[in-house]
Every structure is written in structure tokens, then in C-alpha cells.
Amino acid sequence: MEFSGTLRTKLPRVKTTIFTRMTQMAQANGALNLAQGFPGFHPHPDLAKFMVEALEKGKYQYAPMTGLPELRHAVAKVVESLYSAKYDSETEITITAGATQGLFSAICSLVREGDEVIVFEPAYDSYVPAIEACGGKARLVSLEGPDYSVPWDQVKKLMRPETRAILINSPHNPTGTLLGHQDLLQLEKMLTSTDVLLISDEVYEHMTFDGYEHQSVARYPNLASRAFVVGSFGKTYHATGWKTGFVLAPAPLMAEFRKMHQYQVFAVHSASQYAFARMLEEPKHYSELSAFYQQLRDIFLDELKGSAWKFSPSQGTYFQVLHYEADPSLTDEEMAKQLSSKFKVTPVPMSGFYQYPGPCQSLRFCFAKTPEELREAARRLVMAGEALLK
């Protein structure tokens, strides 16, 4: 179809996401796809059972705009039991079409033309376009290597009257690092006596390893009182395709959020909400997730020990970053291409998580795959390391 008008894009720098491009590359090469972040196995069978139950009960029509009451109640109960935080399920919890929509509606509800939002890089790819689509500007802060820590002094320097919000993500995609108690105390100190709001992306809240605890913003009353906390059932229940998530916020913030939510999606798929509400009744599903993913991480890393790849074990999420040292011409994009085409395993180049990437020799791998796939992927990586890096 020909288009005859003039088009002025609102998002000139946005192209097809790096995840889609790498998945296409994996398919074209017949490679193991460790690029896109989705589980390579089925959810617990109860999820399908509850979905069937939902359909038998006739959950075909619109759910309430704010989400199914039983799901909102279930979320409130879990959040209180895990983080000792009380959210009113009527006024402070909304069910969303995945965390992506939760983030987008939260950003839309508070960012106006000229507002600034502080974002840490590397970053999940939806943050900056959402801010820019609302006329805002992302003020980018690079996490500091080798452990990707937050340079709080730099953040402090960026705070000015235009600063509307800070966006944090822990457990962190793509680096697999966590914000610790001290980070949240620093943030609390910095935000006191300002009007700066907080958006906290916590979609991997139930995946932390080696005894590390997830520090939800919900645990910190002085932060929670100015925060949107965003979660995802897709991540927790191995059902990313169902695109169902939730947002927590104090009632006045949530009222603004819902003004956007009701015109962006109105309501979320009703049968999925019913099924997730039933799943939340059994704490084992989320309390055993960390051990489950830690085992998969270890299967992957055990095979890579002693190879040319350098890494610090992921502390959370289902992502592992591998670093390498080579001639600068072997960029992460080039390395990802070679791994995919010659060694049949496809990662995401870390430069894909930066707006203005510099030189980079790091790759992100998703280990939400079967043990057999992970062993095979690691075996191929060891071979690639020997061929390309030694």
C-alpha cells in the first residue's frame, strides 16, 4: 500500500528490537536461541488446568478495568507476606497487559513534555522509547563495571527541577545484578525532600541466587510512598505469552495510572487473570523459583569454567553475561553473529541495551532453557572460545 502523506516519526531512533533481530538470526542459522528472554519449557500443569476451569466458568467477557478482584487480593496478600507492605487491592493494585504496559502507563501518567527521567544503562529496551513517546527525555547513567554498580554520586548530579522520576530495575536485565539494601538507602536519602517519583521494574523478583534477597521498593516505606512497582506473572509462571502483570502504587498515583490504563488497554484478558489468581494460592510456585533457576545457571556455568569466557555468576533474573577479550574489531555484534552462524548458539550483544553504545565485548545469554540445551550451548561456546579467543 502506498502512503502519500508526510510522516514525522515520534521515535526516530527506534527500529525492530534487538531481541526480534537476534531471534530471527537464530532461526535463520538453525542455532540454539539463548537470545530472547522466554522459558524453553512448559509452565506447571496447574496453570493450564486453571485456565480450563476459567473457561468452564465462562470467563469470556471483559474483566473489571482495574483487574479481577481475586487476582488483586492475591497479589496484595503475597506482597504483604514477602515485603511487609500493605497495598489496598481496591485502590492501589492494577492488573496490566504484562509489565511492558504497566511501565508504559506509569511513564505516561507522570511524564510531560520536557520532563526528565533518570535511566540506568544497560537497560531493558522499552524504557527510553516510552519516555520519549511522552515528550520526556531519558537522562542516561551507565552502570559501572565490572560489577555494574550504580554510581549514586553521578545520579545526584543529574537531579534538577526537570527530573520527574528515576527508573530502576532489580533483579537487573541484562546484567543479572541486584540492588542491595545500601543502594535503596542511598536512593531514599537522595529522594527525601524532592518531588521525584520512582518506577521500579521488579519483574524478576522471585529469581535471586546464592542467598541474595530481592530488595523490593515495597519494603521501604519512604520509597514505596512515591513509587510505581511493576511485576509480571509471565516471568514468574513461565507464561510470557499470556502478557499479564501488575502495578502497585499509593492510591493518588494509582488513580493517575488508571486514567492511562483505561484508555490504553481498558482491561486485561480475563481467563488468564483467573488462572494466575489460583496459582498465587500456592506459594511454592514462586518460592521455589530461585532454586530452580540457580540450578540452570549452574549447569550453564559449570560447563564454561576454565574456558576463554569470563563471567561473574548472575545474582538474579534468568540472564548470564559472558565477557571476552579480543581484538577490538571483534565487537559484540560481530561475535554474536559468528556464534550464531558458525557455532549455532545465539546471544544478545550487550551493546543492544545502550542508546549510544561504545565499544563492547560482552554478551547476554538466557538460561531459562532445558539442562540439555544449556549443556549443548555451553559446549558450543567452549569450542567457539577455543577457536576465536585463544
CB 246 within 8 A of CB 75: yes
Residues 248 and 107: beta-carbon distance below 8 Å:
no
Binding residue count for ligand PLP, defined by CB under 6 A: 14
Residue 329 CB contacts under 8 Å (≥ 6 apart), including other chains: none
CA distance 148 to 120: 10
**Residue closer to ligand PLP (CB basis): 265 or 308:** 265
Select from 169, 170, 320, 362 the one that contacts ligand PLP (CB under 6 A).
169
Print the binding letters for residues 71-100 with ligand PLP: x by CB under 6 A, - otherwise: ---------------------------xxx
Which of 240, 307, 315, 346 touches ligand PLP (CB under 6 A)? Answer: 240
Determine the residue with CB nearest ligand PLP.
98
Which residue number, 319 or 343, has a Cβ lying nearer to ligand PLP? 319
Which residues within the stretch 310-349 sit at the binding site for ligand PLP (CB under 6 A)?
none
The set of cell numbers assigned to 363 is: 554478551
Closest separation between CB of residue 314 and ligand PLP, Å? 13
Please compute Rg for the chain using Cα positions: 21
Q: How far is the CB of 131 from ligand PLP (least distance, A)?
A: 14
**Chosen residue from 39, 136, 176, 245 binding ligand PLP by CB under 6 A:** 245
- Of 238-246, 250-258, 270-278, 321-329, the window that binds ligand PLP (rule: CB under 6 A) is 238-246
Angle between helices 69-83 and 270-280 (to 10 degrees): 40
Is residue 37 near ligand PLP by the rule CB under 6 A? Answer: yes
Distances in Å between the Cα of 45 and the Cα atoms of 268, 291, 356, 373 are: 22, 19, 43, 22
386: its cell numbers: 577455543
We find the least distance from the C-beta atom of residue 171 to ligand PLP, in angstroms, to be: 8
- The 3 state secondary structure assigned to 251-293 is HHHHHHHHHHHHHHCCCCCHHHHHHHHHHHCCCHHHHCHHHHH
Subset of residues 101 to 130 that bind ligand PLP, contact rule: CB under 6 A:
124
Q: Which residues pair with 121 in a beta bridge?
A: 142
Q: CA 273 to CA 276: how far, in whole Å?
A: 5
Nearer to ligand PLP, 220 or 353 (CB): 353
Cβ atoms of 141 and 151 closer than 8 Å: yes
Residues in contact with ligand PLP, shown as a per-residue x/- string from 200 to 229 under the rule CB under 6 A: -x-x--------------------------
CB of 124 to ligand PLP, least distance (A): 4
Residues that bind ligand PLP (CB under 6 A): 37, 98-100, 124, 169, 173, 201, 203, 232, 234, 240, 243, 245
